[in-house]
């Protein structure tokens, strides 16, 4: 068992927040990682339909900032944008850039569920999971040093490398976090919520509802494909809730969430996915 795996296993056994350990192959500085996130997100946004609504954006970014400020990595400029897609999913880009699919916002039934999904993605950023995956991709193609040198100097070099690897959207779709990574992000999200003032039962409610619809899978197939079983994730969250002292009152529902749902209901349906092949 590697160093990060051992730390996570110890955290799971004692019911505590895992402490993030960065693998030795990821030598990016914070400045370089932020540049990677900025450039990668710029390429990603060229090829997806971003839903631009000032009310929704302000509400979600306020939540993400509070979660980020209460994480183990409060130094990233956390930001979230909504992709106009019916897919129930979300993505975390290095440096604190998050992309929430509209389908996930339509799927959740209360603010705590939604904050739980966002906290999980913040957990991926905190643990540098996406950065580590991208580093491995660059290393496998003998491009790591070239990318590292170009991040703070030459946008064109980085753009050509991303295009060579299939484009930012393709690379995000191909990210395969380990189940250990997903479990770590769950626990990091749990404690982010607790410190930020949301009841962490939001994660339990989210996983419980995912468990109920898993047999259908049509809307959530991408999210479920490389994640631990929702029943197991719910079990871990239930155990964690028994181990921590949750001080009341914590937020579970707000008027802003109801306004978000109303605003989404007034928008045209998201475009249908393009046929493959």
Tokens of 29: 């500085």
Task: Give the Cα separation of 101 and 156 in Å (integer).
Answer: 29
Phi, psi of 244 (to 5 degrees): -105, 160
Residue 87 lies in a domain: yes
Residue 272 lies in a domain: no
Residue 125 lies in a domain: yes
Q: If you count them, how many residues does the chain have?
A: 277
Report the half-sphere exposure of 173 (CA within 13 A, side-chain side): 11
Task: Give the Cα separation of 64 and 155 in Å (integer).
Answer: 28
Residue 244 lies in a domain: yes
Residue 250 lies in a domain: yes
Q: Could you tell me whether strands 50-51 and 79-83 are parallel, antiparallel, or unpaired per DSSP bridges?
A: antiparallel
Q: What was the pLDDT predicted at 5?
A: 47
Residue 5 lies in a domain: no
Task: Give the Cα separation of 160 and 69 in Å (integer).
Answer: 34
Residue 122 contacts residue 98 (beta carbons within 8 Å): yes
Inter-CA distances, 40 with 34, 100, 125, 148, 193, Å: 10, 16, 14, 13, 27
Range of the domain at 129: 27-265
pLDDT tens-digit profile of 22-34?
Answer: 999 999 999 999 9
* DSSP-H helix ranges across 77-219: 102-107, 111-126, 129-140, 144-150, 155-164, 168-174, 179-196, 201-213
Q: What was the pLDDT predicted at 243?
A: 87
Per-residue pLDDT of the chain (277 residues; tens, 9 = 90+): 344 444 444 444 445 889 999 999 999 999 999 999 999 999 999 999 999 999 999 999 999 999 999 999 999 999 999 999 999 899 999 999 999 999 999 999 999 999 999 999 999 999 999 999 999 999 999 999 999 999 999 889 999 999 999 999 999 998 888 889 999 999 999 999 999 999 889 999 998 888 777 665 545 444 444 456 788 888 889 989 888 877 765 676 788 999 999 999 999 998 876 654 4
Residue 10 DSSP code: H
pLDDT tens-digit profile of 49-69?
Answer: 999 999 999 999 999 999 999
pLDDT tens-digit profile of 131-142?
Answer: 999 999 999 999
Q: What was the pLDDT predicted at 188?
A: 96
Tokens of 56: 């929704």
| Direct distance between the N- and C-terminal alpha carbons of the chain, in angstroms, rounded to an integer | 40
Residue 181 lies in a domain: yes
Task: Give the Cα separation of 57 and 139 in Å (integer).
Answer: 35
Task: Give the Cα separation of 220 and 216 in Å (integer).
Answer: 8
Residue 4 lies in a domain: no
For the chain, what is the domain count? 1
Residue 227 contacts residue 186 (beta carbons within 8 Å): no
């Amino acid at each position: 068992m590697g160093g990060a795996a051992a730390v996570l296993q110890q955290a799971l056994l004692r019911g505590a927040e895992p402490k993030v350990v960065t693998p030795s192959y990821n030598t990016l500085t914070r400045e370089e990682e932020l540049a990677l996130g900025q450039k990668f997100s710029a390429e990603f946004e060229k090829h997806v339909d971003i839903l631009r609504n000032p009310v929704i954006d302000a509400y979600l970014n306020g939540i993400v900032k509070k979660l980020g400020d209460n994480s183990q990595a409060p130094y990233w400029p956390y930001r979230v944008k909504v992709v106009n897609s019916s897919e129930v999913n979300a993505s975390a880009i290095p440096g604190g850039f998050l992309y929430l699919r509209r389908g996930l916002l339509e799927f959740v039934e209360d603010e705590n569920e939604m904050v739980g999904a966002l906290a999980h993605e913040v957990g991926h950023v905190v643990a540098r999971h996406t950065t580590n995956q991208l580093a491995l991709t660059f290393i496998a193609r003998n491009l790591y040093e070239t990318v590292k040198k170009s991040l703070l100097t030459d946008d064109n070099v980085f753009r050509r490398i991303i295009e060579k690897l299939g484009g930012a959207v393709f690379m995000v779709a191909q990210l395969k976090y380990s189940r250990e990574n997903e479990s770590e992000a769950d626990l990091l999200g749990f404690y982010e919520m607790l410190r930020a003032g949301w009841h962490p039962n939001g994660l339990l409610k989210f996983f419980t509802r995912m468990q109920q619809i898993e047999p259908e899978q049509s809307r959530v197939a991408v999210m479920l494909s490389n994640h631990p079983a929702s029943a197991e994730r719910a079990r871990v969250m239930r155990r964690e809730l028994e181990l921590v002292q949750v001080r009341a009152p914590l937020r579970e529902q707000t008027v802003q969430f109801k306004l978000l749902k109303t605003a989404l209901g007034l928008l045209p349906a998201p475009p249908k996915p393009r046929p493959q092949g």
